[in-house]
Structure 1
């Protein structure tokens, strides 16, 4: 049963990441944390996220805005380091609660942005604020693979095209996911069996990425993102109350 669920998770990660750039980690990490140890779930997602980064960048090649990649990456990477050490230090129970809270907070933000688009579309976030946001995003990324959602607070105000938005965001995540692979391994979170399990899911990821590339051309994402974030919020509640 667990194997079936992880395959479904990998397929979903490919679809969500390629189609929308964000949401795959924060959607899947809390769900997997309900069927396995939360630190195992986070570590298992790391190679999966890196593979989806590569396929997504390939599908949006050279569409990124390098200015924003260079601005946000340093703070994001520092945040990843801090978050990785927190993850290694925290107990399984505390890790589960942390993932649950992160899932609830940022799914609520996404739902509010969909329900009240005018409120969020008029916000212009400064570069200084963007750098500060990137630090928190990096820490959240290391703990629950949810940093992309925080980065959207800044990037959404820059009026990038959909393809440029996805490519810029995933370009930053690609660098951070390489660092996560290194830090998780050094801290004993990503072991060889977990890495092998993650690599075995690559075919499902690639199929999901292909489906996501079709989806981005045909589907209006508003309702889809809304329903995904409702599921994230519910899973966050379950993680928090059942820790």
Structure 2
């Protein structure tokens, strides 16, 4: 196996461990790092099926904690519409534009979260429903383009009263639902089958990531962990913007 294969495996392990801890971030981390090595359109048919395997397992374990009213009434309708729009837009964007756009997205999100963590900024006031619906649709568009709607969705949900465990359970149910649809789309457009050998190659890493993530979810100081992850995202976002 090549150095690229090993490097992508390390990125996947890091990213999926993070999602097992927080409920989001697997694809945005793996894609932002992996895009330094491979085209985004080659990465997505590998990362998305891996994600549904992991989120499916987490949903089966923590389904009682899912906020179904928020999920079905607010999140999924806007996310589904946005995801379809993003998927349909994808063929009209070139690789350079995708990388630049993705770089801007992760720089904005990582910079904002680092600022909030360092300044210990107070929580925002309650977000109006129309703003949340707009934000979830925008998150869906990002998900259709990059399978990475997590940053915008977490931003939209920042003023909810969900605790850490309920937020994680609700988020992974979103990714399981939407990424199942994206995987079906990749099957229909012919991108899934060529990617299956890589999916099978990296699948064992999910077991390690979930095991680590479940343990760390209960024990780790989430603030310090997030600072390290957001700093890593700032670096990779910058590399995506200035790279070839």
The TM-score, its normalising length taken from structure 1, stands at 0.92
Give secondary structure in 1 for the equivalent of 2:121: helix
Q: Which moved more, 1:3-12 or 1:161-170?
A: 3-12
Matches within 5 A, 1:58-207: 58-70=60-72, 71-119=74-122, 121-188=123-190, 190-207=191-208
- Structure 2 contact 27–48 (Cα < 8 Å) conserved: no
Give secondary structure in 1 for the equivalent of 2:38: coil
1:29 maps to 31
Following superposition, the deviation at residue 224 of structure 1 comes to 0.8
Q: CA RMSD in A?
A: 1.6
Query: Whole-Å Cα distance in 2 between the matches of residues 113 and 81 of structure 1?
Result: 32
1:240 maps to 241
Following superposition, the deviation at residue 184 of structure 1 comes to 3.0
- Structure 2 contact 11–29 (Cα < 8 Å) conserved: no
Query: Whole-Å Cα distance in 1 between the matches of residues 100 and 156 of structure 2?
Result: 26
- Structure 2 contact 124–158 (Cα < 8 Å) conserved: no
Query: Whole-Å Cα distance in 2 between the matches of residues 78 and 99 of structure 1?
Result: 20
Following superposition, the deviation at residue 195 of structure 1 comes to 2.8
1:211 maps to 212
Structure 1 pair 122–106 and aligned structure 2 pair: CA distance change class (3 A): closer
Following superposition, the deviation at residue 94 of structure 1 comes to 1.5
- Structure 2 contact 110–234 (Cα < 8 Å) conserved: yes
- Structure 1 contact 27–229 (Cα < 8 Å) conserved: no
Residues 180-234 of structure 1, C-alpha deviations (whole Å, 9 max, x = no match): 112233344x231213312331110121111100001110110111111111111
Query: Whole-Å Cα distance in 2 between the matches of residues 183 and 62 of structure 1?
Result: 29
Give secondary structure in 2 for the equivalent of 1:28: helix
The TM-score, its normalising length taken from structure 2, stands at 0.92
2:227 maps to 226
Q: Which moved more, 1:75-84 or 1:141-150?
A: 141-150
**Contiguous gaps of at least 5 residues in structure 2:** none
Q: Give the paired residue count.
A: 241
- Structure 2 contact 127–159 (Cα < 8 Å) conserved: yes
